Amino acid sequence: MAVLLDNDVVLKLAQLDLLADGCKLLTSKYGQLYVLDTLVYQLRGKSSLRRYGAAALERVQQCLSQGTFLMFEELITDPRLIHLQNNFENLDEGEMRLLQGLLNHQDLLLSGDKRFLKAIAETGFIEDAALNNRFVCLEQVVCFLINELSLEHVNAKASLAFKGECRVDSALRTCIGNGRTHEHVVEGVLQQLRELPATLLSIELHWRLSPS
């Protein structure tokens, strides 16, 4: 098995200092992890430095240096994806390449970009291509990490990240951080998942928060 990660989910987990732990757990459960080859170039950009902070970029670089990921280098070849990219907004080329990977041979796509997930769901392509329940959003990944590492551990990491100079994904603040309880996580995650079609997201139990 193998899992694709978009740049957003990698960088947002790095901001929380949960990337290394998350990758170990995902590798143990799924096998190989793939990231876009564009991630390397994104780390060098000044906009990424301002958006995510030097510490987060260094954590990603460490994972790359340690061989945590393989580079996903496939290009878009399916004519349906080419049509969608040319005719619909909010369909990032990198994530469309990852969709090509799902069509070809990969198992899951982990994405930190809800705008993309909403946009691709609205096209009807997911049903047409039989890609139902092959996507995992950031909040589901956080639930997985809480199940594996404990809520206290994730809250502590999030609290430090929220105090930093760089803006952390605002949706996460409703779910995790200093003083957040199991109930806060459940309510916050459910609120975020309501924005996405149920047919899109993976229904495997480990992406759901376990009972406290």
In the numeric block, the tokens 């790359």 are attached to: 64
For 77, counting Cβ atoms within 10 Å of its Cβ (0-12 exposed, 13-18 middle, 19+ buried), the class is exposed
**Per-domain residue ranges for the chain?**
2-139+197-205
What's the CA gap between 69 and 22, in Å, rounded? Answer: 12
Inter-residue contact 6 to 95 (CB < 8 Å): yes
Confidence of residue 71 (pLDDT cuts 50, 70, 90): very high
Closest CA to 76 of 89, 92, 55: 92
pLDDT score at 167: 87
Helices 151-162, 138-149: axis angle to 10 degrees equals: 130
pLDDT score at 162: 94
Q: Write the pLDDT tens digit of every residue in 25-46.
A: 999 999 999 999 999 999 998 9
DSSP H helices in the chain: 7-15, 19-30, 38-42, 46-52, 54-65, 79-87, 93-104, 114-122, 125-128, 138-149, 151-162, 170-173, 182-193
Confidence of residue 106 (pLDDT cuts 50, 70, 90): confident
For 163, counting Cβ atoms within 10 Å of its Cβ (0-12 exposed, 13-18 middle, 19+ buried), the class is exposed
39-62 mean pLDDT: 95
Q: Is 0.85 surpassed by the pTM of this model?
A: yes
Encoded tokens for 75: 């290009």
Closest CA to 34 of 63, 59, 13: 63
Q: Write the pLDDT tens digit of every residue in 185-196.
A: 999 999 999 999
CB proximity list for 44: less than 8 A, separation 6 or greater: none
78-83 mean pLDDT: 95
Assign a CATH topology to domain 2-139+197-205. Answer: Rossmann fold (3.40.50)
Encoded tokens for 87: 């005719």
Confidence of residue 101 (pLDDT cuts 50, 70, 90): very high
Q: Write the pLDDT tens digit of every residue in 117-160.
A: 999 999 999 999 999 999 999 999 999 999 999 999 999 999 99
pLDDT score at 155: 97
52-79 mean pLDDT: 96
pLDDT score at 133: 96
pLDDT score at 1: 78
Confidence of residue 81 (pLDDT cuts 50, 70, 90): very high
CB proximity list for 33: less than 8 A, separation 6 or greater: 2, 3, 5, 23, 26, 27, 68, 69, 70
* % of residues, the chain, pLDDT over 90: 88
